[in-house]
Structure 1
Amino acid sequence: MSTPIVDPMKIRSKMRVDEIVNEFNHAGVFNAGRIADAVTIFDEMLKSDACKFLGLSGALVPAGLGCMIANMITDGLVDVLVTTGANIVHDVINALGQGHKKGSIHADDTRLREEGISRIYDVYLECEAFMAFERFVHQFFDTLDDGRYPVSRLLWLLGEHVAPGSGSILRAAYESDVPVFMPAFSDSMLGLHAWICTQERDILIDSVADIGKIVTLTSDNRSHGALILGGGVPKNFILQSMLISPSGGFDYGIQITMDRPETGGLSGATLDEAKSWAKMREGAKTVTVYSDVTIALPIILAAVYSLQG
């Protein structure tokens, strides 16, 4: 069998991130090789002017990735955003100046509860942060007229109310006219307070309407690519849009996940598996990177920015 050899990585002092990724590419194996593949596919996705879908799940904003993702939107690396409710909640909390704090995985959680602190692994968030979020959401709903609001429309209006210059994902999407979809809207603190705010109002929040909107975005004459961080509902909402789209599947797919395919769960399923569902084209360029998003994404982005010049 004639195949390329594994070229050992050569690391030296003061290397740039893109140079390190180039060494990943020379070796070409394990997850270092997959990160190099992700950079290549993402770069091609950008240069082909594909419509770029970004899926966010997991505690990415509490982990410190919020500004990075907002910059991706501002810099034109994202055309469509699909996210869990939690990331939007924490994004707004950051924008309100109620930042997340470094904590400990060895904390006494009963004591934290007594002190009004919620823990997300080794990140702390004080009760006042959620109170500030609650006030913001209730004030926002006071500005709305009665009527029907698709979730993406509601999020666009909410983004308008977030302070500019706050590093907010939602604000960046509003300013860049990037649609934001939250298919599990009710499964979040935003959904909880939306329910409270609409009990005595004639306001209907319509989640189903966004299916038609995202299908339209996959049905144009452009190529289409997806960068999926984690998995879950955002991953499925992005990929299922191709089931009734004439496009025939995504042309590019990058997934960063810690989940495995052997259990049959969607979050660990490979993007090659999605070809059997016609969610990815037969010849689609895909890669799954098995890594913590907080490690892999900054490396991939730094290398892609370098290639973009």
Structure 2
Amino acid sequence: MDYHNFHGKNIPHIEVNPDMKIDDLVEIYASSGYNARQLGEAAKLFRKMIEDDATICLTIAGAMTPVGFGGLFKALIEKGFVDWIISTGSNLYHEDHFAWNLPVKQGHFEVDDMILYQKDIVRIRDVYIKGEETLKKQDTIVQKMFENNLFEKPFTTAEFANWMGKYSKEHSTHPERSFVVSAYDYDVPLYISTLKDSSLALDLAPLRLANKPFSVDFVREIIEQAAILYNSKKAGIVEIGGGVPKNTAQQTGPLLDQILGLGHGGQNYIIQITDARPDTGGLSGATLQEGKSWGKVKDSHEDVIVVYADATIAFPVLCLYALSMEGPRKPKRLYKKLDQYYQNLSETYFSKAKK
């Protein structure tokens, strides 16, 4: 599209009133400029993904669950608006505090951390977590989860998270406070892009010292992730932050094309909410348009939107707009289809290789 002409929607002189709803607010954003406009257009693009019945991946970087955002993820899963997830391990670990009723409190950021350390308080910006009452109890729970599971043969992190969801559903005091449990209930594959870089992996250390080896089949899981894309008529990603979860979702296109030679072309839609700069060369800040050069997205001109904002501010707007404007979708239950998707991709690859 040629943007080098004086045309487009008129900028309104914005008015607000007490009767306005979330769709009115999104229209205000979309009709304005800067990142308000980007947020408004991203909310509409998320709605388009839902209406197109796209297979939607949610990627979660940063400390989202310590501020309670697991409740938002849970709502999207249960409405059928998220079909698979890639998250850091820390977000699953801290989400489990809510399911097991372990204390997490508002604190403050203007503090002396030497004093907090003496009082056994860890903090994530202005969120306080107790060392003994929360973290150590959580560690014991995780070790109990896996003391007799997943050490006999290689596993994917989706299998790891699925077992977490099952265990918390059956044993925790408040399973309704866990998006990991909802992922289990709705057969949403939940991959942990950085398992070894989280307390979940640290908690396996005592079990490993007791001669229980844990081996992640990371190659199988990247094939599964590419197979989800390959078996989707349309596919999109909603990215909270960047980092490894972002790249894990986006590298599905290059795996299909560059490595397997299947000529897929990547995602149909991507939304990213980030505060990372694009000019430093890091993946977190890399523009979605740049991803076209790698085959991560089908079109660099349409249906790719970056919102430069704090995700704790912008993501709830995206969620509320979708939840308010769209009826529920039938769950795709991809977890139960992973083996078949993997087999389909394998057969396609070897069939093409013989030609």
- Answer yes or no: same fold by TM over 0.5: yes
TM-score (norm 2): 0.83
Higher strand share: 1
Matches for 1:227-238 after TM superposition, within 5 Å: 227-238=238-249
Work out the percentage of aligned pairs sharing the same amino acid.
Answer: 31
Q: Secondary structure at the match of 2:238?
A: strand
TM-score (norm 1): 0.95
Q: Secondary structure at the match of 1:262?
A: coil
Matches for 1:193-208 after TM superposition, within 5 Å: 193-199=203-209, 200-208=211-219
Q: 1:43 aligns to what?
A: 47
Whole-angstrom CA distance in 2 between matches of 1:187 and 1:270 = 25
Whole-angstrom CA distance in 1 between matches of 2:140 and 2:295 = 44
- Shift, 1:148, TM fit: 2.2
Matches for 1:1-309 after TM superposition, within 5 Å: 1-4=5-8, 5-27=10-32, 29-127=33-131, 128-144=133-149, 146-163=152-169, 165-199=175-209, 200-245=211-256, 246=262, 247-282=264-299, 284-309=302-327
- Shift, 1:186, TM fit: 0.2
Q: CA deviation digits over 1:152-191, x for unaligned, max 9?
A: 1111111101136432111110001000111211000001
Runs of at least 4 residues of structure 1 off by over 3 A?
none
Residue identity in the other structure for 1:273: E
Distance 1:221 1:69, change over 3 A: closer
Q: 2:347 aligns to what?
A: none
Whole-angstrom CA distance in 1 between matches of 2:232 and 2:310 = 34
Residue identity in the other structure for 2:313: I
Q: Which sections of structure 2, spanning at least 5 residues, go unmatched?
A: 257-261, 328-355
Whole-angstrom CA distance in 2 between matches of 1:24 and 1:178 = 31
- Shift, 1:256, TM fit: 0.2
Q: Secondary structure at the match of 2:56?
A: strand
Whole-angstrom CA distance in 2 between matches of 1:110 and 1:184 = 29
- Shift, 1:284, TM fit: 4.5
Contact 2:250 2:296 (C-alpha < 8 Å) held by counterparts = yes
Contact 1:74 1:176 (C-alpha < 8 Å) held by counterparts = yes
Q: Secondary structure at the match of 1:162?
A: helix
- What's the Cα RMSD here? 1.5
Whole-angstrom CA distance in 2 between matches of 1:191 and 1:202 = 12
Q: Secondary structure at the match of 2:304?
A: strand
The number of residues matched between the two structures is 308
Deviates more, 1:263-272 or 1:193-202: 193-202
Residue identity in the other structure for 1:152: A
- Shift, 1:221, TM fit: 4.2
Residue identity in the other structure for 1:187: D
Q: CA deviation digits over 1:1-28, x for unaligned, max 9?
A: 431322222112232122111112222x
Contact 2:61 2:243 (C-alpha < 8 Å) held by counterparts = yes
Distance 1:69 1:10, change over 3 A: same
Q: CA deviation digits over 1:25-57, x for unaligned, max 9?
A: 222x11111111101111110011111010000
Distance 1:52 1:221, change over 3 A: closer
Q: CA deviation digits over 1:210-242, x for unaligned, max 9?
A: 111111111114110000000000000000011
Whole-angstrom CA distance in 2 between matches of 1:265 and 1:202 = 34
Contact 1:96 1:132 (C-alpha < 8 Å) held by counterparts = no
